[in-house]
Structure 1
Amino acid sequence: MIYQALAGAALGLGLFLLVRAVFPGRPGAAATVAQIDALRSRGQYMAASVPDGQGERGSRLRAAIGPRVAEFYARMGWQQRSLRADLAILDRGWEGFLATKVLLSVSGLLFGPLIASGLWLTGLSRSLLVPVWLSLACMALFFFLPDLEIRNNAQEKRKDFRRVVGAYLDLVAMNLAGGRGLPEALMAAAELSDGWALRRIRDALTDARLTGVSQWVALGRLGDRLNVDELKDLSAALGLVADDGAKVRQSLAARAETMRHREMAEIEGQAGAQSQSMLVAQLLLCAAFLIFLTFPAVMRVLQW
């Protein structure tokens, strides 16, 4: 009965996917707009040159898989905004990331039978369902592993970006105190370093100057794209007091001080958590040493 149920489920799933592929549902407005954006970005991606050579077969395969998976996501209306923001702050492409997820999931399908064969040779399991479930589990695990890696790396890089934003606000306030206007102060402060964070801010300000958008609006858009709340709050504050230089300077200095206090509180919290973990490790080590000393005596008393 189990094999019949699995066969019926697989047949039903195949028929469902076939019907959805032949007669796709009508997408909504959000899915249509997302599909147009995906096709536009796909055109830009395909316009880029793909390196040649035998060592670049993996890049060619990813370039072939990525746009199709991105188009499928757009057709289904899966926007994944937080994940896109993490990829944006890491300066990684959306289509290449999707291709990596698909290739890893395929490798997970191949990894499951290897584990099942090892269990078969050792005699731990003789069931034919074990390779199927192991393959599905490995496929799901390998498909979501890149998400965890991206989120952890983006979290660390976003902390660095917030630290740079705090220093950037101090530099802007110093330029305003020197008599410069707000647009000149924002650009001058961003040109003092070639770090990746200030380079992102400088590129956003340059694009705003070319497109005719106010610079604080460009900073807000950059904050939306990178999911950095400090830039979005800065954009809103500058939009309110952009005409008054004294208020802008005071607001920037206050925000920079607030960000420094928040960063110090986070550092103190991390230090406290690490000290607590070290204390727990020391207590466990002492307990193990006491057990090691008292074990012979306890065993001798029990033998009597």
Structure 2
Amino acid sequence: MNPLALALLIGAAMGGGVFLLVRELFPAGPALGPALERLHQTATAPVSPEGEDKAPVLTRAGDTVAARIRHWPGITIPVKNLNLVGESVGELFGAKLLHFAVGLLLPSLFTLIVAMAGIQLPVVLSGLVGLLTGAAMWFLPDAQLAKRAARARAEATQAIMAYAELAAMERVSSAGAQDTLERPAEVGDGWVFQRIQAALLRARLDRAPAWEALRQISEELDVPAAADIADIVSSAGTDGAAIYATLRSRAESLADEQAASEQARANAGSESLVVPVTLLSMVLLVFFGFPAVARIFSV
């Protein structure tokens, strides 16, 4: 086949695929019943959810894709990880959609380039490789999200450890159970403390105990240490128990857990360097040893 004709065919196929993808992402036309109801009502300005029109196109496309496939078998949405890093479902699925599109188009672009150089590759093979590459890259944002969530969870645990120490100091000054949780939250300015402050404010407005807000933080961020502190302080609020020693003990155990986790990560990082260093040593050994060995066998 003529390379120009092959390039035009691949370009047409890519353009048709992009057109079908964009057409699928656009919402369907309105239902007849609600449309007729709106015709008989007084005309008003359309009201959109706050921030929806200002969201990036990729995020809105991700929301559309998530709404259509979230109930498919095998499709899970890591809600806790998204809450932890402060991202939405639309941002996650927008990134997944972008990765899938890039993986789908890369083999076709490679086929087009080699076709211009006079090398003919089967179009079916390019499409199959594109589907496999796109499917593999679809899961790449999940792995990236899991890594960022793990780092954020470790940071949140460290902040909760400091929060427990501050709560213990507040309790030793004969503060009440409510103040034991509210005053330490006003000290920090990190993102974890900001979330605790917001949760405590909501609890105060709802006239709910402060430890319920801390349990909510534990559920949202998937940090069990926050729920432990809530349980400890709730015993003081309901039974009047002395909790200073318990809070200090929990803070110390959190510090030990963090130290052990940091040591495990350092050991894993050191072990991951074994393979590259070994390969580099083998390459250097071959590079410097091959001339001597070749000279010995040539004698």
Settle same-fold status: TM greater than 0.5. yes
**Length, aligned pairs only:** 253
Within 5 A, what are the aligned runs for 1:51-90?
51=54, 59-62=55-58, 64-73=60-69, 76=72, 80=76, 83-90=78-85
Please give the root-mean-square deviation of Cα atoms over the aligned residues, in Å: 2.9
Q: Secondary structure at the match of 2:238?
A: coil
Residue by residue over 1:116-141, the C-alpha shift from the partner in whole angstroms, topping out at 9 and shown as x without a partner, is 22344566662221121122123213
Cα distance in structure 2, aligned partners of 1:235 and 1:107: 46
Contact 2:177 2:234 in 1 (8 A): no
Which structure would you say has the larger RCO, counting Cα contacts within 8 Å and 6 or more residues apart? 2
Other-structure match for 1:172: 167
CA deviation profile, 1:11-35 (whole Å, cap 9, x unmatched): xxxxxxxxxxxxxxxxxxxxxxxxx
- Residue 244 of structure 1 and its aligned partner are, at CA, apart by 4.9
1:261 alignment partner, one of 248, 256, 264: 256
- Percent of aligned pairs sharing the same letter: 26
Q: Specify which of 49, 53, 65 is matched with residue 50 of structure 1.
A: 53
Deviations 1:112-169 (A, max 9, x none): 3112223445666622211211221232133222212111111111111111110100
Picking from 189, 195, 203, the partner of 1:200 is 195
TM alignment of 1:112-151, pairs within 5 A: 112-121=107-116, 126-151=121-146
Per-residue deviation, 1:260: 0.4
1:270 is the counterpart of 2:270: no
Per-residue CA distance 1:186-231 (angstroms, 9 max, x = gap): 1100000211110011111111111122222221122112221222
TM-score of the aligned structures, taking structure 2 as reference length: 0.73
The AA in structure 2 aligned to 1:68 is T
Matched, 1:181 2:161: no
Q: State the partner residue of 2:218.
A: 223
Q: Deviations over 1:60-105 (max 9, x none)?
A: 5235424433332455588835x11111111111223223322432
Match of 1:299 in 2: 294
Q: Which deviates the most, 207-216 or 185-194?
A: 207-216
The CA deviation at 1:178 is 0.8
DSSP 3-state at the match of 1:272: helix
Say which of 130, 138, 147 aligns to 1:152. Answer: 147
Amino acid at match of 1:161: A
Is there any run of 5+ residues in structure 1 with no aligned partner, and where? 1-43, 52-58
